[in-house]
Structures are given as structure tokens and as C-alpha cells.
Amino acid sequence: MPPRKRAGQAALPGMPTMADLRDTLWKAADKLRGSMDAAQYKDFVLGLVFLKYVSDAFEERREQIRQEVLDQGIAESRVEVFLNDIDEYAGHGVFWVPDEARWLYLAERAKGGRIGELLDAAMDAVMKLNDPLKGVLPKIFNRDNVDQRRLGELVDLITDARFTGHGDRPARDVLGEVYEYFLEKFARAEGKRGGEFYTPGSVVELLVEVLEPYSGRVYDPCCGSGGMFVQAEKFVLNHRGRRDDIAVYGQEANERTWRLAKMNLAIHGIGGDLGPKWEDTFYADKHPDVKADYVLANPPFNMSDWHRKVDDKRWHYGVPPAGNANFAWLQHIVSKLGERGAAGVVLANGSMSSKQSGEGEIRAAMVEADLITCMIALPPQLFRTTPIPACLWFFAKDKGPQGAKKLADRRGDVLFIDARNMGTMVDRTERKLMPEDIKKIAGAYHAWRGTASARVENLNYEDEAGFCYSATQDEIRQHDHVLSPGRYVGAAEVDTSDDEPIANKIERLKKELYGHFDESSRLEQEVRTWLERLDV
């Protein structure tokens, strides 16, 4: 970073911290609230934040180019040529921002009453010049229901937010973080529907730490805002990999969410293929030929209203019921796995034990096909937006040693992990898996699978009562192909009454109740007889 700039910023009283920045932006979001619902103003705010980012990143790169060129001894008068060379930007993952879309230009005109029109034009201009953004940015600022005065104020507020100048962090990382923060905040504000585009960070992290997507094709059939990809990329970068070690494929049915995902990927510099437009994965698979090395997914839980084709060739293990898409997602995902592909899926707990409408048979068939590597029961309240408890399914096409990888031969085995008592309440309504929880769970998996990372850390697998258990297919058969980890890991010290599959529990309570009824009628009769004999 050029010293001039640093000096200039240090002179500013109260350099913005990350928290200040988030705060400012969240306040900005609130400005427009009132006239719109959460889902709508999300598009507004995230669109503007994105534009501000694109513009900041552009200015930052521009300054860098100037410095680089001058450092190479090129004359000041020639600098302009480099500054206007679009490749100097694209090569660094920075979008070209034409004059009329630069934030400074827009900020100066925030108060004129025409800001909505200018913003729409700016979005248009950016999209025209940058192919990856085609059709992605929202052009919704010049509508009747948008209060232009408030919109101007919002632009002012965002003007004060600086994505550059946070130590050595490039604008991209800062905005990436802010963007994720916003997605999370908006998901909460939208309640249950919000959960569709956002999976809690600690859950995604766990999926990634188990799957370890070092390189290859990463696919998410219901990618929401693209959180899985961002986390996968972080994993790669944390392990000294490069951004392009993984190739990203995704699909998303909701138009707005699809746009969010495109922007999210752009911000993180991930060149992914999310299809030419939004589309329902069941209706039209946009990546029919992709054989993924890793699938990461958090499908909507218990989706009842889904496009079901009975003779779909994806239903290799049985036709999923019309009223619930859980097993449709699972089978779709399995059908996408390459020869040595692996998948991790977040799903509602019911999927582990349900026997309705043929779901039990599909699950049994998947167990018998030896596709499942690991089942993890998650603690409650990880998802602020739904009280439904969730679990993780892990699949692998090849559970053997996989040649040079020298994995443990796990054919016929399934690892069960009961993490229901893990995690820490971060506030009074939401729980998070902490880094040590994720380490413990992923560690157990790697030890069991005998992966390279387990060898590095010298981990050896052992069953641990109440936490993990490696079961054979035979044991699973004995449990009627029910996959709830609580049934396998043995008694934990705490209350295990909920381990009982709900259907069994209902049957047992019914019988108990009938028993009480019989006893009750017998006693009723006796009481009657005795009372008749009292001389009162």
C-alpha cells in the first residue's frame, strides 16, 4: 500500500474498524427499511455495497498500477495509458468501472433527486463491461416505491464506509467479510425464508473440514448465496493452495438468491459456473455432465412443493415421495459424484429415521449400496431461523483405500458421530460450533478414514461412548437402517431419552397409555364398589 495513502488515513480521527464498518452499513440498511420487506431491501443494500466495493477495488488497483508503473521508471505522462488498460484490472480479478459508475461520481450526485436513475445506469454500465456480472446486478433503484431522498442518504452513508485501508487487508477480503455478515443478518431478519440462502458459518466449516476439498470440482445443487464455495475457497487458501485449485459449479432456483451468489463469488474472486440463470435443480439440471469431486449442500428441509418426475433416472434407490424432497436431494447429489467423489449434506433430522412413503426403503438401499461414510447429529439451535434439528450426511463413491491416498479401507462401515451436546451458545438463542468442536468432529472422521491429515496429526481412530462409533452394515440392518447416531454411539451421560426414534417412542407411549387405561378402569370399578359400602 502506498505510504501516502496510509499517512492520509492515519490522520483521520477514528479510523474505522471492521466493527464500525459493519455498524455503519447495517444502519444504512435500516434507512430504507419501513417501506420494504427484508427480502427487498436486502437486494438494495447488498447491490449498493457491491457497487461500492467494485468501485473501491477499482480505485485501489488504479493506485497500485500507477505506483508499479512509476517504480518501473516509466514517465508520468505515459501512466494514463496503463491506467486505462482493462487487462491491468481483469488480470487481478478487479472489475472495470467506467466513470459514470464510480462511487465518487455517484456520491456527488446523491442529493439531486435523480440518484435512482444514476444508480441503475451505473449497474448497467458495470454489467456491460464485465462479462461475469452480466444479468447479475440489481436495477431496482429508480422505481416508484423507492424514496429518492432516503436513497440519497443511504448512498451518503455507504460513501463513509471504506473497504480499503484496513491494515494490509485488501478491499476484497474486507468486503467479503462484510458481505457475509450482511447475508447472515438478512437471513435472520427474514426468518425462516432467510435460511434458504444462508447456512450458519460453523456448519459449513465443519462440512469443509471433513471433506477437505484441496482441489477439483466443487458442486452445490442448491447453492443459496454461495457460502459453501466461499468456505471451500478459504480452505484451499488456508492450505497454501491457489484460488483456481478448485472449480465451482452451482445452481439456485431463486432469482434474487442466484444474483446474491453471483455477487458473492465475484467479491471473493471465485470464477464459478452458476448456470446462465436461476433454475430449479429438479426441473432442469444445469450441470448434467458435471462429475463432482466434492458436493457441499444445504437443501431446503422437508421441501413439499417440488418438481417430481417419477421416471427420473436419478432415482436409483427409489422414487422419493411427492411430499418431501429430502431423498430427492440426496439421490441427486449421489448421482453427481465422480468416481472418487465425496459429498456432505445438511438435512433435517427426520431424514435419518423416517419410514414414511418409502423413505425408509430408499435409505436402506443407500446403506446397502455402501455409499454413506459418516452421519453426524448436530446440536440444536445452530440454525436461528428454524427449530428443526439438523444432521449431516456424508457420502463417498469409493470407501476403499483409493490407491496412492492410502486411506483406511472402510467398505461396509459407517461412522456415527453424536455432536448433539457440542457447541457453545453465542447469545441466548443461537449456538455455534467452536473451532475445538469442529476439530474434534473432523478429527474423529479423519482418524477413522485414515486420511493424510490424520497421519500428520498422528490420530488413531477409536470408538468413544456417547460420541462416535464405527458400525458395520450388519449393525445398521439390526437397527432397521435407521441412521440416528444416538442409536449407535451408546449411552452418553446426559439424557438419552431422545435417542429413541420418534416412531418407536409413540408406539411405546401408546401401549403404556392403554395399560394405564386398563389399570384405571379396574381401579375405577374397585373405588365404586368400596364407596357403595360406606355408611356415610
Partner 1 sequence: MSEWTMLRLGDAITVKHGYAFKGEYFSDVGPGGLLVTPGNFAIGGGFQIGKAKYYDGPMPDGFILDPGAIVVTMTDLSKGGDTLGYSAKVPNDGRIYLHNQRIGLTQIVRPDLVDRNFLYYSLQTPLYRSHVLAGATGSTVRHTSPSRIYDYVLRLPGLDIQRMIAAILGIIDEKIAVNEQVARTAFGLASAMYRRYSEERSSWRAIRLADTARWYSGGTPTTSEPLYWGGATPWISAASLKSSWIDHSERRITALGAVNGTRLVPAGTVIFVVRGSSLKDEFRIGITQREVAFGQDCKALLPVEGVSADVLFHAIKSRSAQILEMVDETSIGAGRLATELIQELPVMLPSSTEDRVVDELRMLNRLAAARQGESRLMLSLRDALLPRLMSGEIRVRDAEREVENAL
Interface residues toward partner 1, by CB under 8 A: 191-192, 302-305, 323-325, 348-350, 354, 356, 380-381, 385-389, 425, 428-429, 502-503, 505-506, 509-510, 512-513, 516-517, 519-520, 523-524, 526-527, 530, 533-536
**Based on CB atoms, which residue is closest to partner 1, 455 or 510?**
510
**Based on CB atoms, which residue is closest to partner 1, 7 or 534?**
534
CA angle 207, 210, 216 (to 5 degrees): 85
- Strands 292-297 vs 216-220: parallel, antiparallel or unpaired: parallel
Instruction: Determine phi and psi for 424, rounding to 5 degrees.
Output: -135, 140
CA distances from 75 to 68, 80, 273 (A): 12, 10, 41
The answer to whether 341 and 402 have CB atoms below 8 angstroms apart is no
For residue 417, which of 369, 362, 495, 469 has the smallest C-alpha distance?
A: 469
Considering the complex, what minimum distance in angstroms separates the CB of residue 91 from partner 1? 46
**Based on CB atoms, which residue is closest to partner 1, 137 or 433?**
433
Q: Measure the N-to-C terminal CA separation of the chain; round to a whole number of Å.
A: 100
Considering the complex, what minimum distance in angstroms separates the CB of residue 186 from partner 1? 15
Considering the complex, what minimum distance in angstroms separates the CB of residue 332 from partner 1? 17
Residues near 275 by Cβ (< 8 Å), separated by ≥ 6?
250, 251, 286, 287
**Based on CB atoms, which residue is closest to partner 1, 136 or 346?**
346
Considering the complex, what minimum distance in angstroms separates the CB of residue 503 from partner 1? 7
425 bridge partner residues: 431
The answer to whether 341 and 293 have CB atoms below 8 angstroms apart is yes
Considering the complex, what minimum distance in angstroms separates the CB of residue 516 from partner 1? 5
Considering the complex, what minimum distance in angstroms separates the CB of residue 1 from partner 1? 42
**Based on CB atoms, which residue is closest to partner 1, 237 or 494?**
494
Considering the complex, what minimum distance in angstroms separates the CB of residue 351 from partner 1? 9
347 bridge partner residues: 391
Please give the DSSP secondary-structure letter assigned to residue 508: H
b/e map 313-333, b = 16+ CB within 10 Å: ebbebbbbbeebbbbbbbbbb
**Based on CB atoms, which residue is closest to partner 1, 144 or 535?**
535
Q: Which residue has the cell 464500525?
A: 20
**Based on CB atoms, which residue is closest to partner 1, 331 or 470?**
331
Considering the complex, what minimum distance in angstroms separates the CB of residue 498 from partner 1? 9
**Based on CB atoms, which residue is closest to partner 1, 141 or 306?**
306
The answer to whether 8 and 164 have CB atoms below 8 angstroms apart is no
CA–CA gap between residue 183 and residue 199 (Å, rounded):
10
The answer to whether 165 and 15 have CB atoms below 8 angstroms apart is yes
The answer to whether 120 and 143 have CB atoms below 8 angstroms apart is no
Considering the complex, what minimum distance in angstroms separates the CB of residue 334 from partner 1? 21
**Based on CB atoms, which residue is closest to partner 1, 335 or 386?**
386
In terms of DSSP H, where are the helices of 72-114? 79-83, 86-90, 103-108
